[in-house]
Amino acid sequence: MPKLLIGTRNPGKVAEFRALLADLDIELVSLADLDLDLVVREVGATYQENAALKAKAYALASGLTALADDSGLEVDALDGAPGLYSSRYAPQVNPTDADRRAHLLKNLVEHPRPWPARFRCVVALATPGGDCRFSEGICPGEIIPEERGDFGFGYDPIFLVAGTGRTMAELPMDEKNRLSHRARAVKAAAPLLKRMCR
Ligand code: ITT
């Protein structure tokens, strides 16, 4: 069976990718499965650049086709922040998801509601030989000032998914995996996956 390395250190993303890719007849391998403790510095100026940095580094290190994503939350009232910096968005040195959510809400307090926002995900697929392809997915919604729900990770408890009346953290994984930015990007990448995995 062809193999694909899931190139993320975020356990929430690993679980989602495993479910999203389960039906593709591809053997999924995680960084933990390979004992690959590689930290890729995200020094790109776009989601695409950062996703490519991660996918290419993991493909080279493993000899396998690798999938990585760079994703973020874009809030209109904050001119698109935290965006590319979503995982680093908090004053703490090693922020928790709760730190990031608290920092976002603190910065939004002075802005009138509603707070429209979207999650964006750019997936990069890289082969060890240097080929790299991309796909993108968006999930629209709004930020709410209180946390709701226990599923998911990151900003999910304060992100109301458009058209559902529920936060991303109130959606069980199978529902999040029908609607999310990551689900849409992976769906768009399916034809590439079949071609690029060996
Ligand atoms: P990897 O780089 O190892 O994949 P990461 O968490 O650092 O892990 P990113 O650099 O892409 O990944 O940062 C994306 C951040 O955006 C992530 O840490 C969350 O804070 C947020 N985010 C992305 N997708 C999300 C989702 O589905 N639900 C909630 N928050 C999300």
* Domain positions in the chain: 3-196
**Tokens, residue 118:** 């979207």
Give the E-state strand segments of 58-110 in sequence order: 66-75
**Is pTM beyond 0.85 here?**
yes
Which strands make up the sheet holding 115-126, listed edge to edge?
Answer: 27-30, 3-6, 66-75, 115-126, 132-143, 159-161
C-alpha 12 to ligand 1 mean position (Å):
9
Q: Is 45 left (phi over 0), alpha (psi -120 to 50) or beta?
A: alpha
What pLDDT does residue 64 have? 97
Q: Return the CATH number of the domain spanning residue range 3-196.
A: 3.90.950.10
C-alpha 55 to ligand 1 mean position (Å):
15
What pLDDT does residue 147 have? 98
What pLDDT does residue 198 have? 85
What pLDDT does residue 164 have? 98
What pLDDT does residue 134 have? 98
Taking Cα atoms as reference points, which of 56, 156, 159 lies closest to residue 116?
159
Q: 183, 176 in Cβ contact below 8 A?
A: yes
Pairing of strands 27-30, 3-6: parallel
Q: 148, 87 in Cβ contact below 8 A?
A: no
pLDDT tens string for the chain (198 positions)? 999 999 999 999 999 999 999 999 999 999 999 999 999 999 999 999 999 999 999 999 999 999 999 999 999 999 999 999 999 999 999 999 999 999 999 999 999 999 999 999 999 999 999 999 999 999 999 999 999 999 999 999 999 999 999 999 999 999 999 999 999 999 999 999 989 998
Q: Could you identify the atom of ligand 1 that is nearest to the CA of residue 82?
A: 16
What pLDDT does residue 194 have? 85
Taking Cα atoms as reference points, which of 101, 98, 77, 83 lies closest to residue 181?
83
Q: Could you identify the atom of ligand 1 that is nearest to the CA of residue 156?
A: 29
Which residue's C-alpha comes closest to atom 17 of ligand 1? 87
What pLDDT does residue 17 have? 98
